[in-house]
Amino acid sequence: MTDLYAVMGNPIGHSKSPQIHTAFAKITDQEMLYSAILVPLDGFDTAVDDFFRRGGKGLNITVPFKENAWRYADQFSARAQRAQAVNTLMKLQDGSILADNTDGVGMVRDIVVNQKVAIEGKRVLILGAGGAVRGVLQPLLEQKPANVTLANRTVSKAEALARDFADLGEIAACGFADVCGEFDLIINGTSASLAGELPPIPASCVTAETVSYDMMYSNETTVFNQWALDQGALKTIDGLGMLVEQAAEAFLLWRDVRPDTEGVMNAIREDCR
C-alpha cells in the first residue's frame, strides 16, 4: 500500500506542502502520497485519529494546530520539547506518535547553508516572542551568535522566552523601542505584517552589513524586508527557503533520506510570481 502523508491546518488551501513533498518524493524515488487536509477548528484530535487509523504515516501541522499537535503526541524530539510546538508527527512501529519541530533547523539551514550567511559570532536581533520564535531559538543559539536580543511588543513574553532558553545562551529581552545597537542579522518572527504593520524598531539597528530575514514570504519583497532595505541593509531573505527546508527535515524524519532542495525552491519561487 502507498504510504500516506498530509498537512493539516485551517485554512489549508494556500499550503505549498503538497507540492513540495510530492516533488521531494519524485526526486528521491519514494512511493508515497501527500495531501492537504482542512481540519475544523474544534476537530484536530478526531482528524488525526482518523488519518492514522487509515494507515497514515506522517503529518505536517500548520496554523492554528501546532500546540494541539504538541498535546496529541506521545513522544517528543528534543527540539520539539524545547519549542513546545510541533510541526511534524510520525507514527512509529509500536503505534505511538512522535512529534518533531523542524522549523528552527529549517530556518538555520536556509540562512547558513543556502544563503551562506554565518550566524556564529554575529549580533542577532529577533523580533517576536510567539510560537514561531520559540520554535527557532534552540537551533539559532546552537550556532553560537556573539549576542542575541529578543524584542517583542509584549515585553514580558520576550523575558519569559529568554528565561526558558537561558541554559543555551544569554538573551537580552526588551520592547521594540528599547532595542539599541547595531545588528548583523535581524529576524522578523512577528505576525505584524499580517496586520500591515512593522515592528517599530529604531532604524539605527540596520547597517550596510545587516542581513534581514523575514519568516514570512510573498511574491514581492515583504514589508519588513523592504523597510530593512530602505534603511540600507546589505541583503534580505524571506521565509520561502525556511518553508522548503523545514519540509526537507520532515521528509528526512519520515523517509530517512534528505531531498535536494534547490530545484524545489526555484519551482516554488516561480509559482509565487
Binding site residues, ligand ATR, CB under 6 A? 128-132, 152-154, 157, 190-192, 195, 197, 199
CB of 116 to ligand ATR, least distance (A): 27
User: Grid coordinates representing 152?
Assistant: 517583542
Strands 147-151 and 123-127: parallel
Q: State how far the Cα of 179 lies from the Cα of 106, in Å rounded to an integer.
A: 27
Decide whether 123 or 134 has the Cβ nearer to ligand ATR.
Answer: 134
User: Grid coordinates representing 237?
Assistant: 531573505
- The one-letter code for the residue type at 129 is A
Report whether 152 belongs to an annotated binding site. yes
- At how many degrees (to 10) do helices 155-164 and 131-142 cross? 40
Exposure of 264 in the CB half-sphere (CA atoms within 13 A): 27
Return the number of other C-beta atoms located less than 10 Å from residue 56's C-beta: 20
Report whether 178 belongs to an annotated binding site. no
Q: State how far the Cα of 110 lies from the Cα of 114, in Å rounded to an integer.
A: 5
Decide whether 35 or 218 has the Cβ nearer to ligand ATR.
Answer: 218
Decide whether 61 or 129 has the Cβ nearer to ligand ATR.
Answer: 129
Report whether 22 belongs to an annotated binding site. no
Decide whether 135 or 259 has the Cβ nearer to ligand ATR.
Answer: 135
Decide whether 159 or 209 has the Cβ nearer to ligand ATR.
Answer: 159
Q: Are 211 and 238 in contact (CB under 8 A)?
A: no
Of the residues 26, 57, 66, 144, only one is catalytic, namely 66
List, in sequence order, the alpha helices (H) in 2-43.
17-28
CB of 258 to ligand ATR, least distance (A): 26
Measured CA distances, 80 to 83, 243, 263, 271 (Å): 5, 17, 28, 31
Report whether 35 belongs to an annotated binding site. no
Report whether 132 belongs to an annotated binding site. yes
Q: State how far the Cα of 114 lies from the Cα of 245, in Å rounded to an integer.
A: 10
Report whether 239 belongs to an annotated binding site. yes
CB of 188 to ligand ATR, least distance (A): 9
CB of 197 to ligand ATR, least distance (A): 4
CB of 134 to ligand ATR, least distance (A): 7
User: Grid coordinates representing 141?
Assistant: 543559539
66 part of the active site: yes
Return the number of other C-beta atoms located less than 10 Å from residue 117's C-beta: 17
Known binding positions for shikimate: 15-17, 62, 87, 103, 217, 246
Q: Which residues are catalytic?
A: 66
Known binding positions for NADP(+): 128-132, 152-157, 215, 239
Known binding positions: 15-17, 62, 87, 103, 128-132, 152-157, 215, 217, 239, 246
